[in-house]
Amino acid sequence: MARPDGTEITFLTTTADTNSPLPGTGNALAWSPDAKQIAFISATPGERLAEASGDPMVITRYLYKPDAGEGMTRFNDNKRLHIFVIDLASRQVQQLTNGEYDEHSIDWSPDGSRILFSSNRDANQDEFFHYDLFTLSLADHSIHRLTAAEYTEYDPRWSPDGKSIVYRGTKRGITDRETTMEDTHVWVMDADGGNRREIGAVLDNRQGSPGWDPDGTAVYFTIQERGSFKLVRLPVDGGSPE
């Protein structure tokens, strides 16, 4: 943590990553609304980590065409991405999620009670690419599913009043491996997962990660058009894009 001019740099905590090529698209850090805590994503050893590093080595997860960032190995490290939170006053770190799933793309609700995130909760996450949206309660660490369609959702963000969620999404069914083979469009839904609507359908272009206008009446995102990126403002009530 540092001031905007680069002074008073303060070390907070370490984070870890995984060489799995599938999880992770949105924010890996999120300030709490009262600025007293920071939620973040970090990897923890999975249940079968010892098997993957033992003698003999037992491989249960495979990397398909790994790149240099994933270590150029075909062997998955069996780590999982989970949600943590650090209290800035005490520097105490708490792990909020666990298990054999990856959580990522986090955003803190405006009232500070929940954390929005993406995760693939299918039986075989390595075979099928399928993100859904969930919320995590800070009070009891319970998880509530918001979406359960065959579509894939990315980069969720709360509206300023906490009543809506904007995200990127697709309309094709579950696909295999690393892609949905479809341009993402911007979607909006109610905070409980209802009233899902594709507001980005008015533009036939691949659309980037959306962000809210401070008054909550519009969202901003980029589109790709003939090799260029252009910034768009789109009213959430169905108005014309600028």
Instruction: Confirm if 143 and 193 have CB atoms less than 8 A apart.
Output: no
Instruction: Confirm if 128 and 174 have CB atoms less than 8 A apart.
Output: yes
What pLDDT score was predicted for residue 3?
A: 95
Q: How far is C-alpha 121 from the geometric centre of its chain's CA atoms?
A: 13
CA dihedral 69, 78, 127, 182 (to 10 degrees): -40
Give the number of domains in the chain: 1
Tell whether 240 is covered by a domain.
no
Tell whether 7 is covered by a domain.
no
pLDDT tens column, 228-238: 999 999 999 97
Q: Is the peptide bond before 56 cis (omega within 30 degrees of 0)?
A: yes
Tell whether 20 is covered by a domain.
no
Assess whether pLDDT exceeds 80 at residue 191.
Answer: yes
Please state the rounded mean pLDDT for residues 155-176.
91
Tell whether 4 is covered by a domain.
no
pLDDT tens column, 29-57: 999 999 999 999 999 987 777 776 678 87
Tell whether 10 is covered by a domain.
no
DSSP 205-230: S-B---EE-TTSSEEEEEEEETTEEE
Tell whether 37 is covered by a domain.
yes
Helix (H) or strand (E) holding 50: helix 49-52
176 - beta bridge partners?
128
What pLDDT score was predicted for residue 217?
A: 96
**What tokens were used for 39?**
């939620």
Output the domain CATH number for residue 72: 2.120.10.30
Please state the rounded mean pLDDT for residues 120-137.
89
Tell whether 157 is covered by a domain.
yes
Please state the rounded mean pLDDT for residues 209-216.
96
pLDDT tens column, 72-98: 776 778 889 999 999 999 999 999 999
| Exposed / middle / buried, residue 93 (Cβ in 10 Å: 0-12, 13-18, 19+) | middle
Tell whether 15 is covered by a domain.
no
> Domain containing 87: what range?
29-235
The letter for the amino acid at 1 is M
